[in-house]
Amino acid sequence: MWTVFSRFLRALACLAIPECFFVECSFMYTADPLSVFVCCNKNSIFSCESFFVLWQIALNVSGKGDSLSPWDGVLDLLEQTLIHNRSQQLIDQLEASEEERSDMVSDVESVITFYCKSRNITFTPELSWPHVLKPLLGLRLPRSDLYNCFYAVMNKYIPRDCVPKGRPFHLYRLLLQYHEPELCSFLDTKKITPDSYAISWLGSLFSSHCRPEVTQALWDSYLQQGDPFLIFFLMLIILVNAKLRPFWDKKERFFIDAEMLEASPSLLEAEDIEDLFSLAQYYQSKTPLSLRKMNQNLFGSSLVALKEEDTDLSQALCLPVSVPEILQANQLQQDGVRFFVVDCRPAEQYNAGHLSTAFHLDSDLMLQNPSEFALSVKSLLETQKQSLESGSIASGEHLCFMGSGREEEDMYMNMVLAHFLQKNKEYVSIAKGGFMGLQKHLVDMNVEGLDSSYVNWIVSTSGSHSLGSADGESLSSPGDGKGVKSLVNKMTFALKSKSVNVKEKMISFIENTSTPVERITFNLPWPEKVVQDRHVSSSDRVGKPYRGVKPVFSIGDEEEYDTDEIDSSSMSDDDRKEIVNIQTWISKPDVKHHIPCNEVKETGHMFPSHLLITATHMYCLREIASRKGFAYIQSRQALSSVVKITSKKKHPELITFKFGSNNSAGVEISAVERYLIPNAGDATKVIKQQIMKVLDALESS
């Protein structure tokens, strides 16, 4: 560090800096690099020489050796022409003499080539690496220092997988949805994806579109912060700022596209940077810490692939939040992110055990009783408002939905989530792992042992109509093992009987005090699944095994709509990738019926699709959003394998098909597919008729 300090002082000596500044900076030989950088920026010491030293300090590359020395300098990659052309294009944008241009092109091409060779990476057109070098070239660095700085920026500040449809852009979309759901929804409807306008922002730290003086000011602040995740919030602020500017075409109609958004950073001025960072830090303070903790592997030198348990952000409905953060956040004072937890499990599971601060919203009501569900949502929002006003420990501006943690049971919760997102509700998240994740975490934290702060997190209702509460104040003595939380659970819909009228429950919750709730001890077994996984057997109401027996399936009501799901995707990977023209397939002579619909996944996602019925099979074609008129063959199922068709009485458009095969044990379910079908009665009728024809043919053969 002393060598760095000496070089820094030599650079300052050329700038006629007051002697008092040297005294102030005399601490730097023992200070960390970031402190040195902050000190220099505070005193506004700017020049090419000082920037060279300052950025080296911030990037922690001072004193590093020549990384290029082992390289033979041969430029022979397959994509070498592309690298050279991109290097030339970059230098053409800079003001430099012809001789300097030639040297700069050579430097840029060499740095990128060695980086590709040393890390076994192929340079592709969408990569913005040359733009990362653009601000560094202004420092007139030797090639070895240029490479060291470039490597440090790439390693610490450019996220891995920064490619079209890469993980950083799925994360950015979730962040946008969390803070600006209406804007996110608007861009989704326009099919403007984050990678279509922000890939160069993220891949170059905005240097691809900002003027040099703006980039310099932006990088100064960014390197001073030393937080790679801040880039996502800077991108968010720039996009929100773009939203505030109207885009009109020549005919005075609103118009926006990815190219217009991509150019937004070019409008920044150097004096805007301070406000830009202030706003970014404000949004960051309003964001769950789980965003960075769950995505630490986006940055750094580790080449370890994502772990299997890491969330697939492309399939995430909303921002996931870890259980530890949920528990810790509401122990804080008013500052910071606080969560209002919404438990979406069935009433039986909620009553058996739940987070003491959780409001109950039975997600089954969404399909079974929409009017009661609407009233429940209204009560939820009112309770959230009251808890905030009262300063309850259960209060929180941020809604966090908690399911069971079992994918097959959480489908309805995902539909509830989608409902809130469609209403453009901000600050919506989901508890990662659900209630099962909460249980596991509390066990890991030794709830019954030394960690007394967790003792009363899990409660169960006592008595048929008793309710826990959630403001953290116990009405019983501290040592008796029972506690009452007086607000949220007083308002929550946690009765064992679902038949009680919502209005009656509301009156009861408001007028009556809660009975004490009992903590579930970890010596007892946890609540079992309400619906047990099982296979269809000969005793089921669907009848005997289907071979030669009619009917082979039933159109079931809501009681029959169980949850013994198997993932609906029974086709091979090759099937997934097969792309077809929708109209061509609809027009095929062997297609007897075409049924437009939406495929509904267990996660709650819905995809515009088409069911095609032939003499022997049912095909699902899922539309490709980016290719109008084309679709993937999502599934192909033999009609003879249909075991059961069920629907909800309260939501008859949601149809479930169960497919299976006959074996010695009876009928075994092999796949489950769900579709939202307009005029579902007519659709299921024609499918049933075709199935009967297939079975008749099998029986007579």
Provide mean pLDDT across the span 679-699.
Answer: 86
Tell me the average pLDDT of the chain.
76
N residues, the chain: 701
- 25 contacts: CB under 8 Å, gap ≥ 6: 8, 9, 12, 36, 39, 40
> Which range (139-143, 359-363, 572-576) has the least confidence?
572-576
Angle subtended at Cα 302 by Cα 297 and Cα 308, rounded to the nearest 5 degrees: 50
| Rounded-to-integer distance, Cα 5 and Cα 350, Å | 61
Q: pLDDT tens-digit profile of 599-641? A: 987 766 778 999 999 999 999 999 988 788 889 899 999 998 8
Q: What was the pLDDT predicted at 563?
A: 36
Most confident of 4-8, 33-37, 179-183, 497-501: 179-183
As given in the structure block, the two tokens for residue 138 are: 């202004």
The radius of gyration of the chain's CA atoms, rounded to the nearest angstrom, is 31
Q: What was the pLDDT predicted at 279?
A: 94
| Rounded-to-integer distance, Cα 476 and Cα 496, Å | 24
| Rounded-to-integer distance, Cα 386 and Cα 392, Å | 9
Q: pLDDT tens-digit profile of 382-422? A: 999 998 888 888 888 999 999 999 887 888 899 999 999 98
Provide mean pLDDT across the span 655-682.
Answer: 85
Q: What was the pLDDT predicted at 494?
A: 36
Provide mean pLDDT across the span 70-76.
Answer: 91
Percent of the chain with pLDDT over 90: 35
Q: Is the pLDDT at 425 greater than 80, yes or no?
A: yes
Q: Are 652 and 557 in contact (CB under 8 A)?
A: no
What are the angstrom distances between the C-alpha of 691 and each of 320, 560, 666, 672?
42, 20, 20, 17
| Rounded-to-integer distance, Cα 396 and Cα 358, Å | 11
Q: Is the pLDDT at 41 greater than 80, yes or no?
A: no
Q: How confident is the model at residue 302 (pLDDT cuts 50, 70, 90)?
A: low
Q: What was the pLDDT predicted at 99?
A: 81
Q: How confident is the model at residue 253 (pLDDT cuts 50, 70, 90)?
A: very low
Q: How confident is the model at residue 116 (pLDDT cuts 50, 70, 90)?
A: very high
Percent of the chain with pLDDT over 70: 70
Q: Decide: helix, strand or coil at residue 225.
A: helix
Q: Map 586-626 to HEC letters.
A: HCCCCCCEEEEEEEECCCCCEEEEEEEECCCEEEEEEECCC
Half-sphere exposure of 504 (CA within 13 A, CB side): 7
User: What single-letter DSSP state applies at residue 227?
Assistant: -
Q: Are 566 and 669 in contact (CB under 8 A)?
A: yes
Most confident of 205-219, 305-319, 527-541, 652-666: 205-219
Q: pLDDT tens-digit profile of 268-278? A: 999 999 999 99
Point out which residues pair with 443 in neighbouring strands: none
CA 671 to chain centre: 27
Q: Are 613 and 591 in contact (CB under 8 A)?
A: yes
| Rounded-to-integer distance, Cα 135 and Cα 458, Å | 54
Q: pLDDT tens-digit profile of 430-447? A: 999 999 999 888 877 764
| Rounded-to-integer distance, Cα 240 and Cα 610, Å | 36
CB atoms within 10 A of CB 523: 6
Point out which residues pair with 618 in neighbouring strands: 613, 637
Provide mean pLDDT across the span 113-127.
Answer: 92
As given in the structure block, the two tokens for residue 285 are: 């303070």
Q: How confident is the model at residue 78 (pLDDT cuts 50, 70, 90)?
A: very high
Q: What was the pLDDT predicted at 88?
A: 94
Buried b (16+ CB within 10 A) or exposed e, 221-254: bbbbbbbbbbbbbbbbbbbebbbeeeeeeeeeee
Q: Is the pLDDT at 543 greater than 50, yes or no?
A: no
Strand order in the sheet with 517-519: 354-355, 458-460, 517-519, 482-483
Residue bearing the bigger pLDDT, 36 or 684: 684
| Rounded-to-integer distance, Cα 236 and Cα 244, Å | 13
| Rounded-to-integer distance, Cα 630 and Cα 583, Å | 8
CB atoms within 10 A of CB 300: 13
Residue bearing the bigger pLDDT, 469 or 108: 108
Q: What was the pLDDT predicted at 157?
A: 94
Residue bearing the bigger pLDDT, 353 or 304: 353
Provide mean pLDDT across the span 665-685.
Answer: 85
Q: How confident is the model at residue 596 (pLDDT cuts 50, 70, 90)?
A: very high
Q: What was the pLDDT predicted at 560?
A: 38
Q: pLDDT tens-digit profile of 140-168? A: 889 999 999 999 999 999 998 899 999 99
> Which range (155-169, 310-324, 548-562) has the least confidence?
548-562
What are the angstrom distances between the C-alpha of 334 and each of 289, 380, 387, 393?
16, 21, 12, 10
Name all contacts of 425-428 with Cβ < 8 Å and 24+ positions apart.
Answer: 425/181, 425/399, 426/178, 426/179, 426/180, 426/181, 427/178, 427/179, 427/286, 427/397, 427/398, 427/399, 428/177, 428/178, 428/181, 428/318, 428/319, 428/398, 428/399, 428/401
Q: pLDDT tens-digit profile of 326-357? A: 988 877 656 678 999 999 999 889 988 899 88
| Rounded-to-integer distance, Cα 634 and Cα 155, Å | 39
Q: Are strands 428-431 and 319-321 parallel, antiparallel or unpaired?
A: parallel
What are the angstrom distances between the C-alpha of 341 and each of 325, 395, 425, 468, 646?
12, 9, 15, 14, 32
Q: What are phi and psi of 144, to 5 degrees?
A: -65, -40
Q: Are strands 593-600 and 642-647 parallel, antiparallel or unpaired?
A: unpaired
User: What single-letter DSSP state applies at residue 402?
Assistant: E
User: What single-letter DSSP state applies at residue 521?
Assistant: P
As given in the structure block, the two tokens for residue 65 are: 């050796």
Q: Are 484 and 474 in contact (CB under 8 A)?
A: yes
- 588 contacts: CB under 8 Å, gap ≥ 6: 612
Sheet strands (E) in 305-375? 319-321, 339-343, 354-355, 359-360
CB atoms within 10 A of CB 178: 22
Q: Is the pLDDT at 568 greater than 80, yes or no?
A: no
One-letter amino acid for residue 556 of the chain: G
Point out which residues pair with 354 in neighbouring strands: 459
CB atoms within 10 A of CB 698: 13
Q: Are 611 and 683 in contact (CB under 8 A)?
A: yes
Q: What was the pLDDT predicted at 49?
A: 55
